[in-house]
Amino acid sequence: MCLPKDKGGIGIRELRKLNYALLGKWKWNFFHNKGELWARILNSKYGNWRNLEEATKGSRVSTWWKDIYIYITDPSGAEGSIFNKGIKWKVGCGEKAKFWEDGRKEDGVPFKLKYPTLFSISKQQQHLVKMMGNFTTTSWEWDFKWRRQLFDDEMEMDVQFLQDLEDISIHPDRENKWIWKEDAPGVYSAGSGYKKLMSAQIDENQDSVFTKLWKVKAPSKAAFFAWRLLKDRLPTKMNLHRRNVEINDPTCPFCKYKDEDATHLFFSYSKILSL
């Protein structure tokens, strides 16, 4: 029922995923805030936006903070990871982005996961991007510090790593931004977040008859009735019995022989077939 009509559903919003999409909007606004009063209050009470992912959940925090914290960090739920995968960094001066955790290419894989060996021998595992190098008179230069020298069989990996870094442009006067990859303007909205969450559960093998149903030029009541019939959602006696509704006589009131279900009433009953 919660699938969009072009995917065979009837487009009713799934409240749980809609709530997650709205919580994602709060995280987005918290990161991009321009010093608004509400953001300053949250900063003073809970810390900056990164505490949503790193801080432990306390017992004295507000209900809102608990909800958004669980959404972002709950390992058993995919919604938070879908939000994070839909974002890419546009690094400016590098004052907000952690190099190993937030630095990534278009594939969306953080450097610490893409290059675990390099991450394990780095002395700068928790450094921000701006702490990983220096501005010279002409450009930015990386300054990596390792716990040991790279082995010969690690040199090819190091070359690939340096090639990935060529796509990261550091500029001292440009602010850090998130880009939402699921929408052309690059700005997150609850609507696009909801579509992203729903797309993760849509069955690609959905019967095409349901997607065609809503294109038929018929009154919406008729289309909705047909949808319920094809999905076997009509309140026939057999359906009511399966839902633990007490039915004294499950047989068809017309023929008094077959059980009353959708198949009998609409497809096999002799008087229906003669019409």
3-class DSSP state of 49: coil
pTM beyond 0.75, yes or no:
no
Nearest one of 1, 3, 2 to 204, comparing CA atoms: 3
- CA 57, CA 65: separation in Å to the nearest integer? 9
Q: How much is the pLDDT for 51? A: 66
Q: Which amino acid is at 14?
A: E
* Phi then psi dihedrals of residue 268, to 5 deg: -120, -15
Tens of pLDDT along the chain (275 residues) come to 777 776 777 778 888 888 888 888 888 888 887 678 888 887 787 776 666 665 555 556 677 666 665 555 544 455 556 777 787 777 776 677 788 887 665 556 788 888 899 999 999 998 888 888 888 877 788 889 999 988 888 888 988 888 888 877 777 777 777 888 888 788 888 888 888 888 766 655 556 777 788 788 889 889 889 888 888 889 999 999 999 999 889 898 888 888 999 988 888 887 776 65
- CA 39, CA 3: separation in Å to the nearest integer? 35
Residue with tokens 């018929």, as numbered in its chain: 218
Q: How much is the pLDDT for 75? A: 42
Q: How much is the pLDDT for 71? A: 56
159's enclosing H/E stretch is helix 155-165
Q: How much is the pLDDT for 217? A: 87
